[in-house]
């Protein structure tokens, strides 16, 4: 089971949990499992292009089509990053 680190802005959708354990052999499956567990996180799809994904600290391809080709192992730590913006 891999771990997904939830960015602070989204913890309101995970009962303040910092991390969520997910099943899945690919990044796509892991994110699907995350959304099954915490449906409020559908917001990550609200702003296409804003979500960045890091696996074990390294940035990975950003397009959802590529997520299904990215293998995930139990020891992987997936971080979701949404940028912070201001005027």
Partner 1 sequence: MSWHHEIEQIVLPDAFWGEIVSHCKRKLAGDFLPGESEVKRAYGILAGVQEGKELRVKLVLPVKKNARNQGPLKTYMDNMMTEHAVASTTPLSQRGWITDPEELMDCFQQCDKQNLQIFGTYHMHIVPWEGDPIRDTPTVLDTVLAKDSNLFSFIISMVDMENPSMRAFYEGALEKPTPLIINS
CB closer to partner 1 out of 23 and 51: 51
Nearest CA to 3 out of 82, 56, 59, 61 is that of: 56
The beta strand positions in 14-56, using DSSP E, are 19-22, 52-55
- What's the rounded Cα separation, in Å, for the pair 76 and 20? 12
Candidates 39, 65, 74, 86; binder of partner 1 (CB under 8 A) is 86
* Per-residue binder mask for partner 1 (CB under 8 A), 31-70, x = binder: ------------x---xxxx-x-x--x-x--x--------
- Applying the rule CB under 8 A, the residues between 5 and 24 that interact with partner 1 are 5, 7-12, 15-16
């Amino acid at each position: 089971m891999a771990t997904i680190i939830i960015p602070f802005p989204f913890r309101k959708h995970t009962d303040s949990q910092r991390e969520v354990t997910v099943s899945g052999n690919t990044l796509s499956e892991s994110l699907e499992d995350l959304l099954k567990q915490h449906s409020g996180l559908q917001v990550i799809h609200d702003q296409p292009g804003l979500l960045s994904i890091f696996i074990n600290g390294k940035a990975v391809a950003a397009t959802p089509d590529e997520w299904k080709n990215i293998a995930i192992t139990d020891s992987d730590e997936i971080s979701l990053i949404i940028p912070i913006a201001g005027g």
